[in-house]
Amino acid sequence: MNDRKAIEEWELKTLAPYALKACESQGRRFAEDEHAYRTCFQRDRDRIIHCAAFRRLEYKTQVFLNWSGDHFRTRLTHTIEVAQAARTIARSLGLNEDLTEAISLAHDLGHTPFGHAGEHAMRELMKDHGGYEHNGQSLRIVDEIERHYLPRFSGLNPTHELRYGLMKHRTDYDKPLFKDLEERESPSLEAQVANSADEISYNAHDTDDGLYSGLLKWDAARESELFVQAEQYARANVPEGEEDLLRYQLVRRLKDLQVTDLLQYSAARIAELKITTVQDVLEHQSKDPIIDFSPEFKKKVKGLKLMLYHKLYMHRNVRRGMEKSTRFMKEMFERYVSEQYLMPGGFHKRIADGESVYRVACDFISGMTDRYALEQYKKLFDPDTW
């Protein structure tokens, strides 16, 4: 049987020297005994899968509002796709697959309902009250908000390496809560892989969902060089007239092209920068990550993103849903801030204990699924819903 010790030894022998090893973890904020047959990073992953915020991802929008159709990505399926791509990349580069998977599964836990429109609305609402940013909120969830281990500690008590990985896009959230994390260090390669896998996944699946919905037209999508490249491959391999198959093969190729370029360039960059230890990674000073697309390919990825932005994300049908949901969120936020007893008991208790009403309302609303938010909105404002 491979117990924890055996897995830790296997990591030491097999993983790249610049990979984070479970046995070298800086540990958890609250000391716990190690598990018999799972490493600390495997436990991080399992705690995330078992938390309520993870289950709620199922009913949070990725791009298409959650009830638009059964085949569109939700934030949960997006997260699973990110973890899958991230594991492939991590394994190829000799990185710690368990940690990469855990960071990937946790990366969107703090996302608001209603996709990017929801995030944008929350950022606006919180701009004078300590800020909101979904990676920062993911960290708040694993550190504070999930309550499975009381009274020993609040949060999931993840390892330093997982918490640090969630800071990868750190901007302007409530920094004082995380003052034990150093800002100056560069993210681990495992965190950088999760970050790239996020981008690779939404580029591919948003193209897929856009075409499937009919909102993104094939002709419009051909503005992107990368799309054309993937389409050429698909057309050469799919019988004439098989539209669904064509889309499937195109999206598959789109993902493969991105992963392949990222893997090849990142491996070359690790060698060129003479990255041989974890410390080399953390001390890497450039604003360009080590895990990255080649410069030429990056231009193509940018072209794909611009195409998606103009032809899909800004499509009036997508915008209309998003604009409407943004309004719901603002109205609810104002109600909860001015009348805290409209929130469930645990939330106003936090205010009584001295927390800012804005932060508490932000935690409550950003934790909602799309459908729960709509239900609450109706209960607050619709005269026929009680």
Residues that bind Mg ion (CB under 5 A): 108, 198
Distances (CA, A) of 161 to 29, 143, 152, 155, 288: 11, 13, 21, 15, 21
108 or 143, CB closer to Mg ion?
108
Round to whole Å and give the CA distance between 109 and 82.
Answer: 13
> What one-letter code names the amino acid at 385?
T
**C-beta closer to Mg ion: residue 198 or 363:** 198
CA dihedral over 113, 114, 115, 119, signed as positive or negative? negative
Q: Are 98 and 8 in contact (CB under 8 A)?
A: no
Q: Is the CB of 108 or the CB of 206 nearer to Mg ion?
A: 108
* Nearest C-alpha neighbor of 166 from the set 213, 127, 134: 134
Q: How far is the CB of 140 from Mg ion (least distance, A)?
A: 17
Q: Are 342 and 336 in contact (CB under 8 A)?
A: yes
Chain center to CA of 201: 10
Least distance CB 108 / Mg ion (angstroms): 4
Separation CA 154–CA 142 (nearest Å) = 9
Smaller CB separation from Mg ion, 43 or 111: 111
Measured from the CB atom, is 66 or 376 closer to Mg ion?
66
Shortest CB 115 distance to Mg ion, Å: 10
Residue (of 166, 155, 173, 168) closest to 29 by Cα position? 155
Q: Shortest gap between Cβ of 6 and Mg ion (angstroms)?
A: 33
Give whichever of 40 and 141 is closer to Mg ion, judged by the CB atom. 141
Length of the chain: 386
Give least dist CB 323 to Mg ion, A.
22
Q: How far is the CB of 88 from Mg ion (least distance, A)?
A: 17
